[in-house]
Each structure stands twice: as structure tokens, then as C-alpha cells.
Structure 1
Amino acid sequence: MTGASDIATGDWVDRRVPAALRPYLRLARVDRPIGTWLLLFPGWWSIALAAPPGVWPDIEALILFAIGALVMRGAGCTVNDIADRDFDARVARTANRPLASGALSVRQALVFLVLQLLAGLAILLQFPPFAIGLGTASLVLVAAYPFMKRITWWPQAFLGLTFNWGALLGWAAVTGELAWAAVLLYVGGIFWTLFYDTIYAHQDKTDDMLVGVKSTALRLGAQTKPWLVGFAAAALAFWACALIAASSGIIALAGLFGCAAHLAWQWRDVDLDNTQDCLRKFRSNRFIGWILFAGIVLDRLLA
């Protein structure tokens, strides 16, 4: 095994959380919030984009989506770790995860998963019927994603389908229906996920080869950087079309320009053979989320 564990020691979980609860927080990745942010932002973008001109985004929907992203990201990680526990035990970065290390049993993880799904359902039921059906449909993607790395070199694309579902759900939660703006936002998010998760996957490329799982990092190899340009360009193009479809103005497009600059910095500066730098660049994508969200909100308020 190569690399260092992705679980910190001596952090707030170790200092402030009772020992019996720590493995559950680790399993849900509460100690590593970047995944929650990346799951949340497509929904927040869509909620903001669906707001009428001159009006703040629906605050209640933003709060519910924030709680839902935390809960459903935890549920997704639980499903992933149940499926990958044997692989995780053979990779240094993941060997200390609760299921791989034996800190939790599969039965305990399944009970925890059910509780998280019930919490997610309680949040989903606050939205219109169409949004409830749309949110329920996403569970198919959540359940299938952990197995994609066994059958395709492009599990990052499937993660994009899963992680950006909020772009569809956010619009439906506000309007009770779908529109092209939400669909275009969703497709752009898929390419964004391909960009950031391919960088993330380069952390594990050596161990992934040893244990026999697939990723875009292994598929693209030395050609990763040219592909990253394509992923970023496609994300920006679809996002631009989404903004135009929603009758957004210059401020939202300025936010998109800020996203383009940040993606360009990541592409230019990332060292794909340095695991720590890959992790830093991956985590920096939360700024993409905030930049685009701020641009959309300000554009709506000043429209």
C-alpha cells in the first residue's frame, strides 16, 4: 500500500465526539465536508437560478438542501464503504475507514444507512410531488455508483450523474417542474465532476492498479491534462447556456468567468503525481461553487 490515510487524527471528531459515535461520523465523512459542498452547490445554483428577478433565492429551500446534502452525502459514503470495504482495506489512504478497519460492522453501517435515508426522505417530503419523485429516482444512481469502478474506466462520469442531481431537483423544488436551464446546468455539472474527480483519482492510481479497480486517472494517464481542458470547457459551455436559458445577465456571466479562471489555475498548477497537491486542487473546487452561486444570486437581485 502507498500514500497516507485520509482520516486525520486528533481533529475535532477525536477531541469533542464520544468514542462510540466517532466511527459513524467518519463513515459519513462529516469530518471532511468538501464532498458535501460539491453535492450541495448544483442544487443551490439551481434554486438561485429559478428565483424571479429582484428576489432572493428561496431561503427555506437552501436550508433544506444544505441539510439534505449532508445527510445524503453521508448515505452515499456509507453505501460506497460497504461495497468497497475489502478494496479499502488494501489501500493506505482508505485502510483506516470504519468498515475497512473493523471499527464498525456491516450490520451497524446498514442500520446507520437506513437512518440517514429516513432523514433524507423527511427533507424530500417538504417539496412538491414532482420534486419528491425526482429525488427518489436519484437513489438508483446512489446505489449503483460504488460498483462503477469495477466495470468502467469512467466511474467519474457516473459520479457526475449522481452528484449533480441537485441541479434538476433544485429547480423542481422551487417551480414544481423542469426546464432547459436546469438540464443544461446538470450536464455542465457532470463535466465539472469529471474535471475535479479525475484530479482526485490521481491520488490512488498506484493502489487502484494493484487492487484492480478502474478510474479516469488510469484510463487517461499521461493525457489527463488535455482531457481536463476539455472537461472544463464543456462545463463552462453548458453552464453558460444554462444562464442564458434562464435569462441571466452580465453579473452571472462574470461569475462564470471567475469559475473559468479558477479552473484554468487548477489545470495549470496541479501536479498529478503529487497526492497532496491533487487533494488541495480537488478541495479548492468549493470556490467554484461559491463564485457561481454568488454571481447568480447577485444577478437575480439586481435584475
Structure 2
Amino acid sequence: MLNRALIYMRLARLDKPVGSLLLLWPTLTGLWIATKGSPSASLVVIFTAGTFLMRSAGCAINDFADRDFDRHVNRTKSRPLASGHMAAWEAVAVAAALSAIAFALVLSLNTLTRQLSLCALLLAFSYPFTKRFFPLPQAYLGVAFGFGVPMAFSAVSGAVPLIAWVLLVANVFWSIAYDTEYAMVDRDDDIRIGIRSAAITLGQSDVAVIMFCYAGMLAI
């Protein structure tokens, strides 16, 4: 029973919380700006819990989508699905259950925020598949990871002002920068199995583009 629980924890990346923080910082930034520095405790709890739940749901659906690729990549071949310790349907069930809990959290918020949460769900669940055809999946990831920003503004004011979209663009720059660095580790494996990434697309320009994206994020 304990071993099984540990497998589910690895699927949800509970052993690697840094990914949750990469979603949480933009979301809380948006929430603090939207409330002029004074968010309610309930909103902080809802968005913090929702961020952790959706990150884990996204990891589960990512492993489901990449289960046939991960076993050929050194960094990911020990993941639960790739290593055969879990069935594909289990990952889908985990993703669905976590998403349902996250959606239950936003039911107490306004209609626009609930609608935006469905967009966030679509982004999170479609991101893994963009690596099959989109040359810069890191940009798509930036939108998915930063979508808590417009949701935070919507929850506070019932609208999404321009500043929310500007902050989202900043997060896209940031995500391209850090996730391209991350993708460099898998570049040789990704080329061999046919997965797209910014590290492959940018080639010898990768470091220059990373520096440009960090500068763009800081400028915004």
C-alpha cells in the first residue's frame, strides 16, 4: 500500500515541488497586484490550493501523453507510466479527480473566473500534445503556467484588465527562458524520438534567445 502511494505521489510530482512554485509565483503576483497588496485569505487559499492541484493534474496527463516517449529518455524513463508501474487509465483518473477538486474550489467565485478556469484546464491538458508539432512548446507552456494571472484579476474585480494580459506575456518570456534551459538536458533524446522543443528549434541561438527572454520579462 505504501509503495503504491509513493507511485501516485511521483506521478503527481509531489516529490518535486519546484514546478508548483513556477505556477504559484505568477498567480500570487497577479492576486497581490489585483488587490493592491491586500488579498483575502480565502482567495489566497483557493488559488494556492488550485495551483498545486492543477500542476499535479497536468503532470499526470503529461505522463499519459508522453508514456511512449518517456521510456526512451534518460531523465524520464523511471516515471511511473514509462517504467510500467502504473496503467495509463490510472494517470487519466488521477488527472480527472484532481481537476474536479480544483474546479470545486472556483465554484464559489464569479462566473467569469469559472469560465477562465475551463480555459486553464484546456491549456493544461493540451500542452503535452503540442510537443508533437509546435516548434516552441515552451511558449504554450508559458500561457498555461501563467493563466492564473487573469483568473486572479477576474476573481477580484469580475474583469480582466490590460495589466493582467501584460503580466501573462511577461510569464511567457520567463517560461520560454527557464524551460528552454531545462529542455537542453533532453535535446539529444528529443531529436532521436521526434519531440519538439525550443532547445531544438533555436539551435545555436538558444543562449542568446534565453537572455533576450529574461530581459523581456524583466523589462515588462
TM over 0.5, shorter chain: yes
- The aligned residue for residue 182 of structure 1 is 164
What is the number of residues matched between the two proteins? 220
Q: Secondary structure at the match of 2:78?
A: coil
Q: For residues 111 and 202 of structure 2, what CA distance do their matches in structure 1 show?
A: 41
Q: For residues 104 and 38 of structure 1, what CA distance do their matches in structure 2 show?
A: 27
Q: For residues 82 and 184 of structure 2, what CA distance do their matches in structure 1 show?
A: 21
Is 1:207–2:196 an aligned residue pair?
A: no
8 Å Cα contact 1:88/1:100 also seen in 2 = yes
Is 1:83–2:65 an aligned residue pair?
A: yes
Offset at 1:103? Answer: 0.8
Is 1:98–2:80 an aligned residue pair?
A: yes
**Structure with larger Rg:** 1
The one-letter code sitting in structure 1 at the alignment partner of 2:14 is V
Partner residue of 2:177 out of 172, 195, 200? 195
- The aligned residue for residue 26 of structure 1 is 10
Aligned residues with identical type, % of pairs: 36
Structure 2 unaligned regions, length at least 5 = none
Q: Secondary structure at the match of 1:224?
A: helix
Q: For residues 7 and 84 of structure 2, what CA distance do their matches in structure 1 show?
A: 10
Could you tell me the TM-score, scaled by structure 1's length? 0.70
- The aligned residue for residue 5 of structure 1 is none
Offset at 1:78? Answer: 0.8
Q: For residues 20 and 46 of structure 1, what CA distance do their matches in structure 2 show?
A: 37
Structure 1 unaligned regions, length at least 5 = 1-16, 239-303
8 Å Cα contact 1:168/1:183 also seen in 2 = yes
Give a deviation string over 1:115-163, Cα, whole Å, max 9, x none: 1111111112121111111111122211211111110220101101111
Could you tell me the TM-score, scaled by structure 2's length? 0.96
Q: For residues 135 and 89 of structure 1, what CA distance do their matches in structure 2 show?
A: 32
Alignment of 1:198-237 (within 5 A): 198-237=180-219
- The aligned residue for residue 283 of structure 1 is none
The one-letter code sitting in structure 1 at the alignment partner of 2:180 is T
Alignment of 1:251-270 (within 5 A): none
Q: Secondary structure at the match of 2:3?
A: coil
Offset at 1:84? Answer: 0.3
Cα RMSD between the aligned structures? 1.3
Offset at 1:41? Answer: 1.3
